[in-house]
Amino acid sequence: MQRVNSTILSITVTILIAACNNATENTAALKDTAGDKAAPAKKAYLSAPLVSAIYTADPSAHVFNGRIYVYPSHDTATGSPENDNGDHFNMMDYHVLSMDSVGAPVTDNGVALHIKDIPWAGRQLWAPDAAYANGTYYLYFPVKNKQDVFQIGVATSSKPEGPFVAEKEPIKGSYSIDPCVFKDDDGNYYMYFGGIWGGQLQRWNNNKYDSAAKLRQADELAILPRIAKLSKDMKHFEGDVKEVQILDKDGKPFKEGNNDKRFFEAAWMHKYKGTYYFSYSTGDTHNICYATGTSPNGPFTYQGVILSPVDGWTSHESIVEANGKWWLFYHDTQLSGKTHLRNVKVTELKYNDDGSIQAINPFK
């Protein structure tokens, strides 16, 4: 009987020790993915992350040589303090993702450009975009200069995945964040850009910088995104930077108080059946909206929401046609549950017969 009791006691202790070890491992895993917070509750997501080995956000998608290339931000946990200026989004490099088609295996092509290789850069490599012209691939990126003011730079490569070599100076006359480069049917290229709050767009009026400039009040006209035509060499602005007008259905501009519809950041342009679609994020209300027009310069009339709020604070989109369908690329925080550690996703985008876009819920 004593031997039996000893055996039972031994088994019980072993089970308890194993349980404790498993609990410790599980706790460590949670801290690894979600900092000091508990893991996010399981939800039924519409789409799965494209990659999980690294954190990615702000996807700009393009089709080059019949293959889909995605140019995202690369989120990392650097320990920077979280605040409304976005200091915790302290990205150091870019990785380019590629795939033959949506649903096919995704390749992480490694570091395409690192901040240490940008001569004029200070900190924070935010949302990039890319374009192809003159037999060259161009990567456009916002980064704070050594005076902590965002400007937009350009880097070049002979391959869509890079590596890219940055120009020694930012694009003259550029400022703020979130460049989107659009090629029109006539061969002209335009850059749309800007973002308020941490993106510093509120500091720029008539293309002049004022470090003391404030955000607009609710009853004031909303701050507008910017547009500039690119020169033939794709490295300069041709002419002055201009504002992009976004109007309501009555032809009136939005006020800052219309923060569920007004522009905040994440400008993107695409063209569908001859109409220009300008999409963007409303930021603090977390919608991805769109407005339409008959010219790349605007004005654009607000039409509605493309993507309702995702997990996490930010939302940032791109829209591209590939393999006979249209696709919406976006991000959320499914993998980490942390605002600054995001993951890129994609889902099909559908149009109604009248050209309106069918709204997408990021959850099933």
CATH number at 168 reads 2.115.10.20
Spatial distance between the Cα atoms of 242 and 143, rounded to a whole number of angstroms: 21
Task: Identify the helix (H) or strand (E) that includes residue 304.
Answer: strand 300-307
Q: Quick one: 320 and 221 in the same domain?
A: yes
Q: Quick one: 8 and 108 in the same domain?
A: no
Q: How many CA atoms lie within 13 A of 202 on its CB side?
A: 17
CB contact set of 84 (below 8 Å; sequence gap of 6+)? 197, 198
Domain housing 293? 53-349
The verdict on residue 151 lying in a domain is yes
- Whether 249 and 285 have beta carbons less than 8 Å apart is answered as no
Please give the full DSSP string across 249-293, using - where no structure is assigned. TTSPBPBTT-TTTS--EEEEEEEETTEEEEEEE-GGG--EEEEEE
Q: Quick one: 333 and 203 in the same domain?
A: yes
Spatial distance between the Cα atoms of 89 and 41, rounded to a whole number of angstroms: 24
The answer to whether residue 184 scores a pLDDT higher than 80 is yes
Q: Quick one: 157 and 194 in the same domain?
A: yes
Q: Quick one: 322 and 280 in the same domain?
A: yes
Spatial distance between the Cα atoms of 74 and 127, rounded to a whole number of angstroms: 9
- Angle (CA) 128-131-133 rounded to 5° is 150
Task: Identify the helix (H) or strand (E) that includes residue 190.
Answer: strand 189-193
* pTM, full prediction: 0.88
Q: How many CB atoms lie within 10 A of CB 350?
A: 12
The verdict on residue 307 lying in a domain is yes
Phi and psi at 71, nearest 5°, equal -110, 95
Dihedral sign, CA of 309, 312, 316, 318? negative
pLDDT for the residue numbered 79:
80
Q: What integer best gives the mean pLDDT of the chain?
A: 90
The verdict on residue 355 lying in a domain is no
Q: Quick one: 59 and 26 in the same domain?
A: no
The answer to whether residue 37 scores a pLDDT higher than 60 is no
Residue where the block lists tokens 């407005």: 291
Amino acid 343 reads N
pLDDT for the residue numbered 43:
84
Q: Quick one: 78 and 134 in the same domain?
A: yes
The answer to whether residue 35 scores a pLDDT higher than 80 is no
- Distance of alpha carbon 148 from the chain centroid: 21
Q: What's the pLDDT band for 41 if we cut at 50, 70, 90?
A: low
Q: Quick one: 274 and 159 in the same domain?
A: yes
Q: Quick one: 63 and 129 in the same domain?
A: yes
pLDDT for the residue numbered 110:
97
pLDDT tens-digit readout, 66-75: 999 999 999 9
The verdict on residue 277 lying in a domain is yes
Tokens of 137: 């691939």
Residue 23 burial class via C-beta count within 10 angstroms: exposed 0-12, middle 13-18, buried 19 and up:
exposed
Spatial distance between the Cα atoms of 198 and 144, rounded to a whole number of angstroms: 11
More confident position, 25 or 117: 117
The verdict on residue 358 lying in a domain is no
Dihedral sign, CA of 244, 250, 255, 257? negative
- Number of structural domains found in the chain: 2
Q: Is 129 a catalytic residue?
A: no
The answer to whether residue 132 scores a pLDDT higher than 80 is yes
Q: Quick one: 131 and 244 in the same domain?
A: yes
The DSSP 8-state label assigned to residue 6 in this structure reads H
Q: What's the pLDDT band for 86 if we cut at 50, 70, 90?
A: confident
Q: Is 58 a catalytic residue?
A: yes
pLDDT for the residue numbered 210:
97
The verdict on residue 13 lying in a domain is yes
pLDDT tens-digit readout, 215-241: 999 999 999 999 999 999 999 999 999
- Whether 165 and 140 have beta carbons less than 8 Å apart is answered as no
Q: Quick one: 27 and 147 in the same domain?
A: no
Candidate from 21-30, 55-64, 158-167, 230-239 with smallest mean pLDDT: 21-30
The verdict on residue 81 lying in a domain is yes
The verdict on residue 356 lying in a domain is no
Which of the following is catalytic: 75, 129, 161, 265?
A: 265
pLDDT for the residue numbered 84:
81
pLDDT tens-digit readout, 309-353: 999 999 999 999 999 999 999 999 999 999 999 999 999 999 999
The answer to whether residue 9 scores a pLDDT higher than 80 is no
- Whether 164 and 118 have beta carbons less than 8 Å apart is answered as no
Q: Quick one: 191 and 287 in the same domain?
A: yes
CB contact set of 297 (below 8 Å; sequence gap of 6+)? 190, 227, 242, 244
Spatial distance between the Cα atoms of 75 and 93, rounded to a whole number of angstroms: 9
